[in-house]
């Protein structure tokens, strides 16, 4: 088994070769056919998330290096444990990585992705920057139909993250386009799902001209630069003068969230997804004056995963641009993503 691990935060990933793990109990061994490189991997590799004001949230205990990152995984079942049910050797599936303890209220109520003691693949447990991965149970395997493996793997994180966020805009779009802030890999997924779930092509805001162009090519009804003094005016014009009913911030920076709030109409909802970092402040009376809501969104539940996969395998969601790289290019690809040089989504193929 070959993998590329974080051995020391902020340092190049190290290649490790070891024996394939043998599945025990309900476990399933999956031979990886593709794994996405997600932007959250950059923060995990750095060893912290920026909390603003010079404060950092360390991922040392969460990651407990050495750790194989990669939580967007697709592959073929090659071995099953003696107590495994629901999977057989030869099955092809996307792996749901947001695995919880299986015992707490969140896990038993269907919100396993919110478990406070998670076993998430690629974060708390070894993941997809490898040629094999051990999955705790077959229930975390989802068929992907005729989708190419390079596309299928992306739905395990950027797909379910975008889908879960767009679902939170249902009933809050006021029958008008929503605003998608950030046209990176996850943001482009959000553009796709906004059309299929809400029935309207969204407005996109991004500071990168090339990403704005890419967003228009991938289904946005308009794309603007949030730094432009006329940006808010443009949004008002596009929404009949009322502002958007919902804005999804796939960046998660102070400037992006501030822009999202300014774009909202009365009673609008800002959904924060991105992990860029920093702080956000707003005068408390404005919540009452405008009736606005601010909420976070983290990945999606197993039930939402099934709902999303039914959509994509049914051909109701068009694919996003993909850049294929060899597994041996894992570190180089991660660094390109960190520098903002990846357009669309990067996928590692063993």
The CATH number linked to 92 is 3.90.180.10
Same domain, residue pair 10 and 116? yes
- The model's pTM: 0.93
Same domain, residue pair 6 and 151? yes
Same domain, residue pair 145 and 204? no
Domain end position, chosen among 296, 313, 337: 296
How many domains, in total, are found in the chain?
Answer: 2
Three-class DSSP category at 340: coil
Query: Which helix (DSSP H) or strand (DSSP E) does residue 105 occupy?
Result: helix 105-108
> DSSP label at 250?
S
Same domain, residue pair 138 and 7? yes
Three-class DSSP category at 22: coil
The per-residue b/e assignment along 23-53, b for 16 or more CB within 10 angstroms, e otherwise, is beebbbbbbbbbbbbbbbbbbbbebbbbeee
Same domain, residue pair 70 and 122? yes
Q: Give the residue numbers spanning the domain of 128.
A: 2-157+300-349
Same domain, residue pair 132 and 213? no
Same domain, residue pair 249 and 186? yes
Domain containing residue 216: CATH number = 3.40.50.720
pLDDT of 137: 97
Same domain, residue pair 96 and 167? no
Contacts of 21 (CB under 8 A, 6+ apart): 1, 29, 132, 134
Same domain, residue pair 209 and 82? no
Is residue 53's pLDDT more than 90? Answer: no
pLDDT of 21: 93
Same domain, residue pair 171 and 232? yes
Same domain, residue pair 164 and 256? yes
Question: pLDDT (tens digit, 9 = 90+) per residue, 113-133?
Answer: 999 999 999 999 999 999 999
Question: pLDDT (tens digit, 9 = 90+) per residue, 276-318?
Answer: 999 989 999 999 999 999 999 999 999 999 999 999 999 998 8
Domain end position, chosen among 279, 296, 313: 296
Same domain, residue pair 330 and 280? no
* Helix count and strand count (H, E) for the chain: 12, 18
What is the percent of the chain with per-residue pLDDT over 90, rounded to a whole number? 94
């Amino acid at each position: 088994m070959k993998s590329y691990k974080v051995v020391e935060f902020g340092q190049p990933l190290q290649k490790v070769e070891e024996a394939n793990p043998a599945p025990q109990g309900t476990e399933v061994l999956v031979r990886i056919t593709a794994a996405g490189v997600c932007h959250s991997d950059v923060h995990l590799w750095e060893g912290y998330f920026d909390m603003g004001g010079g404060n950092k949230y360390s991922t040392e205990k969460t990651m407990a290096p050495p750790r194989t990152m990669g939580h967007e995984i697709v592959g073929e079942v090659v071995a099953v444990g003696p107590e495994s049910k629901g999977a057989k050797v030869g099955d092809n599936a996307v792996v749901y990585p947001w695995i919880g303890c299986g015992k707490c209220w969140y896990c038993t109520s269907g919100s396993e992705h919110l478990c406070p003691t998670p076993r998430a693949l690629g974060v708390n447990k070894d993941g997809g920057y490898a040629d094999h991965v051990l999955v705790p149970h077959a229930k975390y395997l989802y068929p992907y139909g005729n989708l190419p493996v390079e596309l299928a793997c992306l739905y395990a994180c950027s797909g379910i993250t975008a889908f879960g966020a767009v679902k939170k805009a249902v009933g809050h779009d006021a029958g008008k386009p929503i605003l998608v802030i950030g046209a990176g890999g996850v943001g482009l997924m959000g553009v796709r799902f906004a059309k299929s779930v809400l029935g309207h092509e969204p407005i996109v805001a991004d500071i990168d001209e090339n990403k704005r162009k890419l967003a228009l090519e991938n289904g946005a009804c308009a794309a603007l630069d949030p730094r432009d003094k006329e940006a808010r005016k443009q949004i008002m014009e596009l929404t009949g003068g009322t502002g958007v009913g919902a804005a999804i911030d796939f960046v998660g920076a102070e400037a992006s969230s501030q822009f999202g709030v300014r774009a909202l109409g009365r009673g609008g909802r800002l959904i924060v997804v991105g992990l860029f970092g920093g702080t956000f402040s707003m005068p408390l009376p404005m919540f009452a004056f405008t009736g606005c809501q601010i909420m976070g969104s983290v990945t999606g539940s197993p039930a939402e995963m099934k709902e999303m996969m039914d959509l994509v395998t049914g051909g109701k969601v068009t694919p996003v641009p993909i850049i294929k790289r060899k597994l041996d290019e894992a570190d180089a690809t991660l660094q390109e993503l960190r520098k903002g040089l990846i357009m669309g989504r990067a996928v590692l193929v063993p």
